[in-house]
Structure 1
Amino acid sequence: MSTRPLKVTINGDAQPVEDIPKELMMLDYLHEYRNLTGTRFGCGQGMCRACTVIVDNPDGSSEEVRTCITGAHFFDGKAIRTVEGHAQRDDAGEVKALSTVQQQFLEHFSFQCSYCAPGFVNAATVLVERLQREPVPRSQLEDTISEALESHICRCTGYVRYFEAVRDAVLKTPGTTTGRS
């Protein structure tokens, strides 16, 4: 099996550069090499988006990328965030505080089996960050949320709770909307 070195930053930590198989999907790299299992293998075809991670671009923007269909080497030199990287942690690695998105998901009980939750958390986080840079009129918020979440699949039909949690996360984040409802 042919290998190539991979250099990637995950959740703010530069990972050791190591040779990995050229064909290895990022999902497998996260699970097998980094022991980060929050990113989920769902459909294996990139349709359900349970495998989504966030790529942090140099310009400060972020985007979702599906890891079950994207090779690990696509991420070479990039900074990514997995669902494990959202909460604030202390020096011992214990969770001190959840992100606003995670807290709203918890408060709205926005999951049943929770298998799809990592993809939804990442999608909502990308949305909140985008709205901090490019706020939308409050009157367009519901459509904006629907558009951001529409490609994510929940087999337990938790969409209403996800939507409500994301709406509250956006509304609790200053500067994400303009005008009145």
Structure 2
Amino acid sequence: MSIKTQPITLTVNGKQYGPVEVPEGLMMIDFLHEYLDLTGSRLGCGQGICHACVAILDHPSGTSEEIRTCITGAHFFNGKQVRTIEGHAEVDNQGEVVELSPIQQSFLDHYSFQCGYCTPGFVNAATIFVEKLQREPILRDQLEGAIEQALENHICRCTGYVRYYEAVRDVVLKTPGLLKETV
């Protein structure tokens, strides 16, 4: 018996891939790991609960959302644009990191993680949150609740959540235009 495959073409971190023949039913996390050698997204629970595996799905409208790659088939992403943790930092021609994204740097500055397993998911969620605030600033007094809502689905088994929240708050407070003082 042979495994049925279908081609997919997609853009990951700004680079187009495909068409690539991929087994039907292959989960996106396995495609990222095995076909693209992008291993930053983590397989945590394998059931879509912990959100360690999330990637960012960018929509043509300019909005984006988290997609759990452990429970979403690779073929769902056919023709779509995806960002993974590997796509956040600025890198040189040799692939060396030149500059971390503001979220990544803030997570380091705040010692936001211990084992780091859940960090890619938190970075992706925080990135989506900051990008949303760039399009739709919120009132300053709504910030705490908005951070909680942006990160609430992510599970960390080591450190708790205070440092992740502090790191995100710090980025938002330091980035002009993300908050409004009055209606």
Shorter-chain TM range is over 0.9
Q: Is the 8 A contact 1:4 1:20 kept in 2?
A: yes
Which of 143, 147, 150 in structure 1 is aligned with 2:149? Answer: 147
Could you tell me how far 1:15 is from its partner in structure 2?
Answer: 1.0
Q: Could you tell me which residue of structure 1 aligns to residue 158 of structure 2?
A: 156
Q: Alignment partner of 2:98: what SS? A: strand
The unaligned stretches of length 5 or more in structure 1 are none
Q: Could you tell me which residue of structure 2 aligns to residue 106 of structure 1?
A: 108
Q: Could you tell me which residue of structure 1 aligns to residue 38 of structure 2?
A: 36
Question: Which whole-Å CA distance do the structure 2 matches of 1:96 and 1:158 have between them?
Answer: 30
Could you tell me how far 1:172 is from its partner in structure 2?
Answer: 2.0
User: How high is the TM-score relative to the length of structure 1?
Assistant: 0.97
Question: Which whole-Å CA distance do the structure 2 matches of 1:64 and 1:176 have between them?
Answer: 20
Matched, 1:7 2:9: yes
Question: Which whole-Å CA distance do the structure 1 matches of 2:76 and 2:172 have between them?
Answer: 30
Q: What percent of counterpart residues are identical?
A: 63
The unaligned stretches of length 5 or more in structure 2 are none
Structure 1 moving runs of 4+ over 4 Å: none
Q: CA RMSD in A?
A: 0.9
Q: Is the 8 A contact 1:110 1:158 kept in 2?
A: no
Q: Is the 8 A contact 2:56 2:67 kept in 1?
A: yes
Q: Could you tell me which residue of structure 2 aligns to residue 123 of structure 1?
A: 125
Q: Alignment partner of 2:48: what SS? A: coil
Question: Which whole-Å CA distance do the structure 2 matches of 1:124 and 1:96 have between them?
Answer: 21
Which of 69, 72, 91 in structure 2 is aligned with 1:70? Answer: 72
User: How high is the TM-score relative to the length of structure 2?
Assistant: 0.96
Per-residue CA deviations over 1:18-38 (Å, capped at 9, x if unaligned) read 110110000000000001000
Question: Which whole-Å CA distance do the structure 2 matches of 1:169 and 1:4 have between them?
Answer: 42
Question: Which whole-Å CA distance do the structure 2 matches of 1:80 and 1:23 have between them?
Answer: 18
The 10-residue stretch of structure 1 (145-154 or 86-95) with the greater mean CA deviation from structure 2: 86-95
